[in-house]
Amino acid sequence: MSTGHGILQKTQQALQNYVLTAALSYNPSVVCGVSRGKNPLVADEEESSPLPMVVCDCRRGTIDQDQSLSPWKVDVTVSLHESADDTTEDLHLAHAEELINALMDTTLAADLSTEDDYTCFLAVFQDLSYEIAGRRWVTTLNLQLDCAGFDFT
């Protein structure tokens, strides 16, 4: 099970597809990894991912090398970014609650496993944070997924 071919990318893609199909009252752009945002030096440049935006980021995966059948443990960050100029704090927190509730569903691991060549066995929720970064409200949920880069069924 230890084949790690693209496990981080597959995990990000599964999360992106999950969030895109979640029943949210708002319509965020959903991106994998880091979004560069708008370049302040270029007039009239469109933001690469307009706000509100959900970022699904997986940058680290570990595996127990002593166990050939061990799943990957992938550290995942899902964050909601909204403009502090266009969204009140209360509205941002309401949107964040919707997203977090969707992600904390007891069937998350099974729902992520609908992707081809990807199986998620377990989702462990680690922590939640909230901040204002520049002119953005940002709420972040960190979790760890036990998963494999192939269909285990």
Give the chain's count of helices (H) and strands (E).
3, 5
- Percent of the chain residues topping a pLDDT of 90: 67
Q: What is the arithmetic mean of pLDDT over 64-88?
A: 87
List, for residues 56-73, the tens digit of each pLDDT value. Answer: 999 899 987 765 567 899
Question: E strand or H helix at 83, and its extent?
Answer: strand 72-83
The answer to whether 71 and 144 have CB atoms below 8 angstroms apart is no
Phi/psi at 8 (nearest 5 deg)?
Answer: -70, -45
Could you tell me which residues come within 8 angstroms of residue 19 by beta carbon, excluding any fewer than 6 positions away?
A: 28, 30, 54, 56, 78, 99, 102, 103
Is the pTM above the cut of 0.75? yes
Instruction: Tell me which of 49 and 62 has the higher pLDDT.
Output: 62
